[in-house]
């Protein structure tokens, strides 16, 4: 019996959603009734080591629904792996296309191994009948209460990093107490310009030129920082690097594919070498599926980071 089995006594048969069919079902869209001010991402439960939140860290209790295409889901999966939780928290992947039914389980990435749902929406419906908010990945599911714990990407990876120490030896402590404030400070700066800013920078909106400038200024500052040190916060790999990496790995293939923003990530040599350095780490490489967003060859070029990497290697 594996560790996960203690919470998964049921055998779930593999069933799949019918193919994505926008003509039949329409586009995925969330509409808000006038006067309905409930948050659209409604589930934000937290896992705690002592169970005080109602969701106690445990072996085999939780399942992460992810999507290979999604940077926010990848953040959670990387955090899970670096925390050493491969045998503690199970993971599965939704298909990469959707219609009005939202994310679904198809032959592409396999069935829902926990509940046998064909639509991710079914997990939300089981938690809150009539649920009409966003059905998003990552979604964290609890096998004990049979509910969604969270679809708030901000907390999921942090809980993996910090609340499961009794169950696994982390490969890397990605959210150490002494760096937590610095990680969140960086997020207010890099997160705003990069994570939230890239799409606007690539667009045609009235603020796109300003967003582009802000993004490229931020890349330049980060490039200078990475000329001196291996990771964003020095010689330790942290959640801050996870957050930046998932954006960088999609940049030239996604928002900047038509070179609408700049000539490419390699215009920032230290940032580009840093990105490939991070990509060479198995937990990052194994969770990166370039087939869902483009080509890969350049990312395999050795980073050759020189002195600043040698110092901390």
Ligand X SMILES: N[C@@H](CCC(=O)N[C@@H](CS)C(=O)NCC(=O)O)C(=O)O
Q: Which residue has the tokens 């809980």?
A: 159
The CA-CA-CA angle for residues 226, 217, 206, to 5°, reads: 150
Is the bond preceding 138 in cis, omega lying within 30 degrees of 0? Answer: yes
Structure tokens at 97: 């296309």
Strand partners, 92: 65
Site for ligand X in 115-144 (CB under 6 A): 134-137
**Residue 137 C-beta: closest distance to ligand X, Å:** 5
CB of 268 to ligand X, least distance (A): 24
Question: For residues 3 and 108, which CB has a smaller minimum distance to ligand X in the complex?
Answer: 108
**145 forms bridges with which residues in the sheet?**
none
State the number of binding residues for ligand X (CB under 6 A): 11
For ligand X, the closer CB: 137 or 222: 137
The enclosing H or E element of 250 equals helix 239-251
**DSSP-H helix ranges across 88-234:** 121-127, 153-162, 177-186, 198-202, 208-228
Site for ligand X in 253-292 (CB under 6 A): none
CB of 200 to ligand X, least distance (A): 14
**Is residue 90 within the footprint of ligand X (CB under 6 A)?**
no
Our CB check for ligand X shows the closer of 41 and 227 to be 41
Q: Which of 17, 47, 64, 70 forms a contact with ligand X (CB under 6 A)?
A: 70
Q: Using the minimum distance from each CB to ligand X, give the nearer residue, 76 or 88.
A: 76
Q: Based on CB atoms, which residue is closest to ligand X, 67 or 84?
A: 67
- Classify 51 as helix, strand or coil: coil
| Binding flag, residue 153, ligand X (CB under 6 A) | yes
Nearer of residues 104 and 271 to ligand X, judged by Cβ: 104
Is residue 219 within 8 A of residue 212, CB to CB? The reply is no
Is 77 near ligand X (CB under 6 A)? no
Provide the minimum distance between the beta carbon of 165 and ligand X in the complex, in angstroms, as a whole number.
26
Q: Is 41 in the site for ligand X (CB under 6 A)?
A: yes
CB of 225 to ligand X, least distance (A): 26
CB of 98 to ligand X, least distance (A): 8
CA–CA separation, 296 and 313 (whole Å):
25
- If one asks whether residue 72 binds ligand X (CB under 6 A), the answer comes out as yes
Q: DSSP secondary-structure letter at 174?
A: S
Comparing CB distances to ligand X, the nearer of 104 and 240 is 104
- The residue assigned the tokens 């890099």 is 190
Task: Report, in Å, the least distance between residue 248 CB and ligand X.
Answer: 15
Nearer residue to ligand X within complex by CB, 56 or 134: 134
Rounded distance between C-alpha atoms, residue 45 and residue 48, angstroms: 10
Measured from the CB of residue 30, what is the shortest distance to ligand X in angstroms?
A: 6
- Provide CB contacts within 8 A for 30, sequence distance 6+: 40, 132, 133, 134
Q: Are 168 and 57 in contact (CB under 8 A)?
A: no
Helix (H) or strand (E) holding 78: helix 71-82
Q: Residues interacting with ligand X, by CB under 6 A?
A: 30, 41, 67, 70, 72, 134-137, 152-153
């Amino acid at each position: 019996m594996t560790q996960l089995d203690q919470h998964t006594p049921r055998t779930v048969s593999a069933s799949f959603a019918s193919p994505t069919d926008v003509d039949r079902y329409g586009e995925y869209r969330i509409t808000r009734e006038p006067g309905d001010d409930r948050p659209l991402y409604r589930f934000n439960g937290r896992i705690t080591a002592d169970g005080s939140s109602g969701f106690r860290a445990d072996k085999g209790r939780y399942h992460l629904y992810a999507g290979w295409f999604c940077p926010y889901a990848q953040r959670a999966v990387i955090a899970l792996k670096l925390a050493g939780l491969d045998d503690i928290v199970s993971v599965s992947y939704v298909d990469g296309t959707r219609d009005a039914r939202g994310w679904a389980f198809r032959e592409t990435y396999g069935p829902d191994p926990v509940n046998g749902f064909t639509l991710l929406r079914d997990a939300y419906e089981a938690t809150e009948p009539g649920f009409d908010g966003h059905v998003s990945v990552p979604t964290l599911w609890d096998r004990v209460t049979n509910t969604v714990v969270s679809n708030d990407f901000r907390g999921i990876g942090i809980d993996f990093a910090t609340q499961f120490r009794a169950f696994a030896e982390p490969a890397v402590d990605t959210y150490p107490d002494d760096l937590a404030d610095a990680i969140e400070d960086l997020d207010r700066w890099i997160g705003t310009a990069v994570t939230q800013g890239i799409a606007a920078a690539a667009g045609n909106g009235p603020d796109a030129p300003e967003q582009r400038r802000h993004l490229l200024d931020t890349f330049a500052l980060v490039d200078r920082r990475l000329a001196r040190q291996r990771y964003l916060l020095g010689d330790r790999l942290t959640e801050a690097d996870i957050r930046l990496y998932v954006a960088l790995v999609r940049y030239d293939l996604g928002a900047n594919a038509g070179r609408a923003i700049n000539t490419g990530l390699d215009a920032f040599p230290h940032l580009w070498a840093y990105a490939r350095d991070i990509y060479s780490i198995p937990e990052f490489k194994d969770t990166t599926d370039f087939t869902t967003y483009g080509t890969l060859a350049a990312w395999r070029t050795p980073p050759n980071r020189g002195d600043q990497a040698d110092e901390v290697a």
